[in-house]
Structure 1
Amino acid sequence: MCSGSFAKCLGICLIPLAIVCILCNILLFFPGGTVQGSENITIQVFYFGGIVGSGVLMIFPALVFLGLKNNDCCGCCGNESCGRRFAMLSSMLFAAVGVLGAGYSIIVSAVAINHGPKCQTNSTNATWEYPFNNGDYLKDKGIWTQCQAPPGIVHWHLSLFSVLLVMGLIQVALCAVQVVNGLLGALCGDCCGCCGGSDGAM
């Protein structure tokens, strides 16, 4: 498979992952599926790890990867002026941007999971706070009852940030693969088989 075709496959995979991350981050603004004031929303949500990191910053490399297959592979084979090798090298730079964006989302998600959600712990005084420390709630589900409102906030928080964490890891892996693919494409040409065919024709 030509490196351009492989990059296009990676781009196709990154687009839905970015959309899922954006949607997850948006849902986190509605803790437990309810509308709350900004002061009652977990602070890590406002870091926009899913919207900016694994979302917007991932769209750019995905579009670049999709565009690498637009040119005819055999028509450019052996012609360095066509810029094919430069295109593959530039894809490596965009892949690095994707890794940074996804890495940012991973860090934010990991911190949020460890920190736990902000929730109402006293129904009488309507006290909103972070009742969990150092991820202790991950080992003991019995203390989840400390969060009295919104309903199901711990599941909501943990599920969505876990999705962001997993999606970020997948995005990092795909971008890392494109770094290797782009390096091979820059060194060997986008489609070495075509080069061989052209040389044979000459």
Structure 2
Amino acid sequence: MCSVNCAKCLGCTLIPLAVLGTLANILLFFPGSYKIDNNLNLSEEVWYFGGILGCGVLMIFPSVSLLNLKKSDCCANYDPEDCGKNLRMFNAMLFAGTGIVGALYALVISVVAINRGPKCFVGNNTWKYPFHNGNYLKDKHLWSICIEPINIVPWNLSLFSIQLIISSIQMLLCTIQVVKSFFTIICAKCRCPVICGGKTAP
């Protein structure tokens, strides 16, 4: 029961993180008060939907699975409580694995975006990526290269950093659930009956 309660706690934690990750990604489409007429002038990483897809959509599966963990007992009719918990934990482990993939995707997108820097207007009717290999992270004076959108560098840096932190936490939580589920299954003391044709066999 402790494993189930801990899993539900993890599920409750993943939901607000998914919402925040999605919100951070949405805000990246609106760089401050500046309106970008051509969407091609947005950074490519924004269109990869790391926060919406990785931190958000793919995190729905482990969240729902963990929150409904107690209800998914396929052995309940035969009353082997421990065996039913093993099957629930196996199901939770699979969905948590999906969450790890989503969080890893968002994390990679965030790292790439932070290292590359934003796409911005640098003059001469030119939009480009003026930074290289994260050099702007060490030299704040380089930020002035970006003329428009105003404050685009701190805007992108802050939101992608938030996305990075959120995806890291989500990946950690999902990994914890995978490990807990794995050891719960391996260390089980019961043998789940084989259900065949409505009958059980030891």
TM range, normalised to the smaller chain? 0.7 to 0.9
Q: Is 2:8 the partner of 1:8?
A: yes
- 1:116·1:132 contact (CA, 8 Å) conserved in 2? yes
> What RMSD, in angstroms, separates the aligned Cα atoms of the two structures?
2.3
Which range is displaced more, 180-189 or 85-94? 180-189
* TM-score, normalised with respect to structure 2: 0.85
Q: What corresponds to 2:198 in structure 1?
A: none
Counterpart Cα distance in 2 of 1:9 and 1:43: 35
Q: Which amino acid aligns with 2:155?
A: W
Percent sequence identity over matched residues?
51
- 2:72·2:88 contact (CA, 8 Å) conserved in 1? no
Q: Which amino acid aligns with 1:157?
A: N
Give SS of 1:121's match: strand
- 1:27·1:33 contact (CA, 8 Å) conserved in 2? no
Counterpart Cα distance in 1 of 2:18 and 2:32: 23
Q: What corresponds to 2:122 in structure 1?
A: 121
Runs of 4+ in structure 1 over 6 Å off: 75-78
Give SS of 1:150's match: coil
Query: In the TM superposition, what is the alpha-carbon distance from 1:127 to its structure 2 partner?
Result: 1.6
Q: What corresponds to 1:89 in structure 2?
A: 90
The within-5 A match list for 1:177-196 is: 177-188=176-187
Q: What corresponds to 1:35 in structure 2?
A: 35
Q: What corresponds to 1:194 in structure 2?
A: none
Counterpart Cα distance in 2 of 1:79 and 1:173: 31
Query: In the TM superposition, what is the alpha-carbon distance from 1:15 to its structure 2 partner?
Result: 0.2
Counterpart Cα distance in 2 of 1:71 and 1:145: 56
Give SS of 1:120's match: strand
Give SS of 1:35's match: coil
- 2:70·2:88 contact (CA, 8 Å) conserved in 1? no
Q: Name whichever structure is richer in helix by fraction.
A: 1
Residue 71 to residue 44, structure 1, CA distance change in 2 (3 Å)? closer
Q: Which amino acid aligns with 2:152?
A: I
Q: What corresponds to 1:101 in structure 2?
A: 102
Give SS of 1:30's match: coil
* TM-score, normalised with respect to structure 1: 0.85
Counterpart Cα distance in 1 of 2:101 and 2:72: 28
Give SS of 1:94's match: helix
